Amino acid sequence: MSDVLVIGAGFAGLYSALMLARRGHAVTVLEKDPEAPPADGEACFTDWVRRGVAQARQPHILLNRAARVLQDETPAVLAAFADAGANLLTAGGERVAPDERDRLFFTCSRRLPLEAVLRRAVLAEPQVELRTGEEASGLVLLNGRVRGVLLRDHTEIRAELVVDCAGRWSRSRDWLMAEGVRLDPERRQDCDFFYLTQWRRRTNADFSWGGVPGRAESAFASFRCFPADGAVFAATMVLSMHDPLKAKCRKSAVFERVFGAIPGFQRWLEGSEPISELEVTARIENCWRSTLDEKRPAVSGFVLLGDSAMHTNPTLGRGVALALLQARQLADLLERHDAGSPDLVAEFETWRSDELSVWYLSQAAANARRSEEMRHTATGGETQEPVGEQARFAAAMAIAAAEDPYVAERALELFHLLATPAEVAADLRVRKAAQSVLERGVPLRPLTSGPGRTEFERMLE
């Protein structure tokens, strides 16, 4: 068994530690934030300081692909999420049990209460040591192999394998390149999205969630209501960074006026009260990183995992599911390879490319289209139909899904990462439905259920 050091105690780092410890490895987890989570879930949200997780108070929703990993590997963790108040809901808002396998469901909760549950599960493992308030500032590199990390006080912590789960602002590639290590360039894409979120609590005991997540679209903006734990939900508005009106939306009264005027969201706001100020997130990007140099491992004894390895615009909620999949794969590979073997790194990177790059590339393409559409229409342009075969097929399929329950079910499998875009597009019934939309000449503009631009401007006065 190996000595493994994990950088970061977010979802990726904690689940990696859990999977590795249960395979018999000794795991040390470094977390730069010093505070332990409160015992109470509500206090986790209000009081727990997580400066190292910029998105800690933005909405999180766990897709069914994540639930299946938890059901297969750590069912007690998923049950503990539910016990802590997470709502397990189908797309239609029906509640399910943690062991449900016949219906697709979302695990809905604010992030920090779930992170606290997962941390307690990890700390129950005798093979794990969690060191808080300690930040990695470099890697110990000897003869092409990472042998540990450097702390800010220049202390070394040695390990046979270092797993970087520090998140989207990971600096480990910079540390390696500063030592002369050559690495393939990052793939990076700015999304130009601006997120505003207000957390609210239902006051109406008879409230039913309905569609999950609640959604409305305008050409220049997206609006979402995400169920969370207990009676809490998040109302989120996504605008273009180039929208000249975004500053006005940062006032709570304006934000609530806009959401309350959207027909599908009136009942959400009327039966609830705010429990937070507006949370703002910007600098959204998609990024793919590796530890390869021209398809070969640049170093051994080191892997990137979770958001350190790949992250995408969080609207589709893919981050946790992809992190759990990577954690399981790494644990499986350590059953077959020595922790310092270049073959471990090579196989892990090959698996990521083969199995996960499709989700990065498809989201990057969709985000590029949506970002341009929002920027164009927020600055006076007219809504335009999508260009290109792939974009037109996706738009036609979205329209077909609103008409055909079978297509809607396949689209839901795609959303939950249970079927790839290519697999869904190859489905003959889906193709026929999308082709029918194209042949009927149905406009391929987005299905709009949110306000028009003129109406939106009036709401901000």
Q: How many CB atoms lie within 10 A of CB 433?
A: 20
Which one, of 60, 372, 62, lies nearest residue 193 by Cα? 372
Say if residue 391 is in the same domain as residue 309. Answer: no
pLDDT digits 0-9 by tens, 302-323? 999 999 999 998 888 899 999 9
CATH, residue 253: 3.30.9.100
> Which pLDDT score, from 0 to 100, does residue 447 have?
57
Say if residue 101 is in the same domain as residue 180. Answer: yes
Task: Identify any residues that bridge with 163 across adjacent strands, giving them in sequence order.
Answer: 6, 303
> Which pLDDT score, from 0 to 100, does residue 448 have?
66
CATH, residue 147: 3.50.50.60
pLDDT digits 0-9 by tens, 434-452? 999 999 988 877 556 788 8
Give how far Cα 444 sits from Cα of 75, 269, 375, 394, 439, Å. 42, 31, 18, 9, 12
Say if residue 270 is in the same domain as residue 406. Answer: no
Say if residue 244 is in the same domain as residue 314. Answer: no
What is the share, in percent, of the chain residues with pLDDT greater than 70? 99
Say if residue 294 is in the same domain as residue 255. Answer: no
DSSP H or E run through 62? strand 61-62
Say if residue 44 is in the same domain as residue 154. Answer: yes
Residue 433 contacts residue 375 (beta carbons within 8 Å): no
Looking at 225, 251, 281, the residue that finishes a domain is: 281
Say if residue 317 is in the same domain as residue 269. Answer: no
Tell me the three state secondary structure of residue 188: strand
> Which pLDDT score, from 0 to 100, does residue 354 have?
97
pLDDT digits 0-9 by tens, 398-427? 999 989 999 999 999 999 999 999 999 999
* DSSP, res 184: P
Compute the half-sphere exposure of residue 253: CA atoms within 13 Å on the CB side of its CA: 2
pLDDT digits 0-9 by tens, 132-187? 999 999 999 999 999 999 999 999 999 999 999 999 999 999 999 999 999 999 99
pLDDT digits 0-9 by tens, 6-50? 999 999 999 999 999 999 999 999 999 999 999 999 999 999 999
pLDDT digits 0-9 by tens, 356-384? 999 999 999 999 989 999 999 998 888 88
Tell me if 202 is assigned to some domain: yes
Q: How many CB atoms lie within 10 A of CB 354?
A: 9
CA 36, distance to chain mean position in Å, is 23
> Which pLDDT score, from 0 to 100, does residue 446 have?
59
DSSP H or E run through 142? strand 136-142
Tell me if 374 is assigned to some domain: no
Say if residue 75 is in the same domain as residue 124. Answer: yes
pLDDT digits 0-9 by tens, 334-363? 999 999 999 999 999 999 999 999 999 999
- Number of domains the chain is built from: 3
Say if residue 306 is in the same domain as residue 159. Answer: yes
Say if residue 220 is in the same domain as residue 325. Answer: no
User: How many Å apart are CA 23 and CA 371, to the nearest integer?
Assistant: 43
Say if residue 358 is in the same domain as residue 223. Answer: no
> Which pLDDT score, from 0 to 100, does residue 415 have?
96
Say if residue 31 is in the same domain as residue 165. Answer: yes
Which one, of 409, 453, 418, lies nearest residue 63 by Cα? 418
Tell me if 352 is assigned to some domain: yes
Tell me if 154 is assigned to some domain: yes
Tell me if 377 is assigned to some domain: no
User: How many Å apart are CA 288 and CA 311, to the nearest integer?
Assistant: 7
User: How many Å apart are CA 118 and CA 73, to the nearest integer?
Assistant: 13
What is the share, in percent, of the chain residues with pLDDT greater than 90? 81
Looking at 281, 297, 327, the residue that finishes a domain is: 281
Range(s) of the domain holding residue 428: 385-444
> Which pLDDT score, from 0 to 100, does residue 1 have?
83
Looking at 224, 252, 281, the residue that finishes a domain is: 281
Whole-number average pLDDT of the chain: 94
pLDDT digits 0-9 by tens, 67-102? 999 999 999 999 999 999 999 999 999 999 999 999
pLDDT digits 0-9 by tens, 233-279? 999 999 999 999 999 999 999 999 999 898 888 888 888 999 999 99
Give how far Cα 336 sits from Cα of 3, 4, 50, 154, 349, Å. 15, 15, 36, 33, 15
What would the DSSP string read from start to end of 296-352?
EESSBSEEE-GGGTEE--GGG--HHHHHHHHHHHHHHHTTTS-TT-HHHHHHHHHHI
